[in-house]
Structure 1
Amino acid sequence: MTYSESFLNAPDGHQIPVKTWHVSAPQAVLVISHGMAEHAGRYGALANWLVERNVQVIAVEHRGHGPSCPEQDRGHYSDQNGWQKVVSDLHAVVQHSRAQYPQLPLTLFGHSMGSFIAQACAQAHGEDLDNLILCATNRIDHIHLRTSQLLINAIARLRGGRHRSHLVDRMTFGAFNKRFSPTRTSHDWLSRDAKQVDRYLDDPLCGTSCTVQLWCDFIGGMLAISPRKWRKDLPVHLMAGTDDPVGEMGQGVSRHCDAIHQAGIKVASFRLFPGARHELVNETNAGEVWQHLLDCLPLDAPLEPAGLSQP
């Protein structure tokens, strides 16, 4: 088992960071699209566990995130066309992964913000995917999103796209955390596992306040997502916690599952984990979540039984 970091060239000259956890005889490929204000390196423990089970894991570092991003650009996709660029970056990584392992089934796994980037990628390039897993996602609430869009666009016009708004932070992450009052930290909403929350807070690459331009790009991108435009035979899996405020405590993601089903898309699985919060892969029941994720993957050959490590 080896780990490597590399870069792919984007059309605008951006270097797309790619992290790869290698396995000698892979039976499946998993591409990871991480969430907002975190980074791909946080999926290392999960990736190592999957590698032990013959899954090749490749993770993209989204623009505005990760160690190679200049500090002044963290939390900012781009001054122009940011959403199109992050979706194009993810597609480039999918194509790269497909070229490396053309005979293996390829699954795209998106967490939170990354789940929406993954949906946009699947909508535009579904033919390059064999499987789609959406983790800690939510419905496309057009009324709420358009209202937020009007406010954030006004802030961007007044203060500039690179402004970082305390009001927007309070409306999003702050509101999520209030659901767990009284709270120990500002990010209790992420997980019931206090050690994982502390790791997030202690990580200088996590918790960045995002620019209003990123929020404009992100909301505009979400509003463009329509399951009716997806490839009809693409298997889609949804997983979330019943105590995840991003997924409206399970209700929003359930409604998104219904919308995908009504669009004629194959909902291969839908699972709500009782009591789990936002970061499912870092929850107190991580072993159960990781096994479920593995069960969602199409494998090229049966796995060999072994007494392998657990999270």
Structure 2
Amino acid sequence: MKNLFIDANDGHKIPIYIKEAPNEKAILQLVHDSIDNSSRYFDIQEELASHGITTVNSDTRGHNKSVNNPDELLYFGEHNGWNNCTDDIHVINEYMKTISDKPRFVLGMGIGSMLVRTFLFKYGEDIDGAILIGSLPYVGNLKMQYLEKIVNFNLGKYGSHYRSEKLYNRVLKHLNKRFKDTSGYSYISSDLQEQDNFRKNPLNLGVPTISLYRDILNGVRLIQNDTSVHYVPDELRILFMAGSDDAFCGSISKQKSLVSFYASKGKNASLAIFDKARHDILHDYSRQEAIKTILEFIEGTNAFCPIDK
């Protein structure tokens, strides 16, 4: 695994991790979730390399080696954080052109998939396909206004670096309530060992800054905008993937509605659901099926059934 830093548009240093495939067929960029880190996907990079897929993983701003001091943890920046993170994906993708002439794909996980959805309407013409794992379904306007009101109140009162345990429990930890196992990270995976691995990884710990919520809500507004989705290239292949028991994604019907939204705008979107898997289908009992699905999508050997418009 190669580890190096490349320059973002604003001078930020982006840490990237490259696993080269000996018989390369394609190159895939990975964008991790929030409350997550790049190291959790090193095993996936190794496995994909054995199938001829070179991967480029990275630390999103506010995570792991992208952080110079503790105040920057789970913090996209004072201004324009969401767009900066999206542009970082583009910078990495441009770098990928210098190391490979093979077809280029991007895979985003959770919040990472939402960043990729933003990337698609800004830079989608640059890639051959996108894989979106555990992506947030449509959020209603009333709920958005309610969440924005809470976030803006805390921003005004405490500042952008404020960290609210109460809000963290409300937004994330409540996802565990539907599951009988009570590790505190039950929403991640139905595999108890993977839950334990997640809990013991210090890079997964910490309460997000209030500004991170602001940036994510700004991102949700962007990706739900009809005009934004219009600029996603119609011919670009997009595969949504989700566990049937993903508390972050909601019900299977909500995932179908999300993909139907893209299809209704003329986009080439399809959906793969993994039975009984939770939020991280790559670290659940669905792992091998999910990797097989990713390989089939990249190789174009499975047409996938599109959702009806």
TM over 0.5: yes
After TM superposition, give the deviation of residue 228 of structure 1 in Å: 2.3
Would the aligned equivalents of 1:35 and 1:112 in 2 still touch at CA under 8 Å?
Answer: yes
* Matched residue, 2:35: 37
Q: Which secondary structure does the structure 2 equivalent of 1:138 belong to?
A: coil
Indicate the RMSD between aligned Cα atoms, in angstroms: 1.5
Number of residues paired by the alignment? 295
Cα deviations by residue, 1:222-273 (Å, 9 ceiling, x for unpaired): 2111422211111110110111011103232221101010010012x31111
Measured against aligned partners, the alpha-carbon deviations of 1:100-137 in whole angstroms (never above 9, x if no partner) come to 213x1111000000000001111101111110110001
* Letter matched to residue 291 of structure 1: K
Correspondence for 1:307: none
Q: Which residue is 1:47 aligned to? A: 45
Percent same amino acid at aligned positions?
22
Give the alignment of 1:163-242 within 5 angstroms: 163-180=162-179, 182-225=180-223, 226-242=228-244
The aligned amino acid for 1:245 is A
Task: Kindly provide the amino acid, as one letter, of the partner of residue 50 in structure 1.
Answer: L
**CA offset digits 1:126-156 (Å, max 9, x no partner):** 1111101100012231422232112111111
Contact between 1:8 and 1:17, CA under 8 Å: does it hold in 2? yes
In the alignment, the residues of structure 1 paired with residue 267 and residue 66 of structure 2 have an alpha-carbon distance, to the nearest angstrom, of 37
> Could you tell me how far 1:71 is from its partner in structure 2?
2.5
Q: Which moved more, 1:196-205 or 1:291-300?
A: 291-300
Q: Which residue of 1 aligns with 2:151?
A: 152
CA distance in 2, matches of 1:208, 1:97: 31
The 3-state SS of whatever aligns with 2:51 is coil
Distance change >3 Å, CA 170–CA 292, structure 1 → 2:
same
**Equivalent residue of 1:246, what SS?**
coil
Q: Which runs of 5+ in 1 are unaligned?
A: 301-311
Separation in 2, partners of 1:277, 1:97: 31
Q: TM-score, normalised by structure 2?
A: 0.92
> TM-score, normalization: structure 1?
0.91
Confirm or deny that 1:292 pairs with 2:290.
no
* Residue aligning to 1:277: 278
Is the partner of 2:64 in helix, strand or coil?
A: coil
Provide the residue aligned with 2:87 in structure 1: 88
Contact 1:105-1:299 within 8 A present in 2 as well: no
Moved more, 69-78 or 240-249: 69-78
Stretches (4+) displaced over 3 A: none
Distance 2:170 2:230 in 1: 30
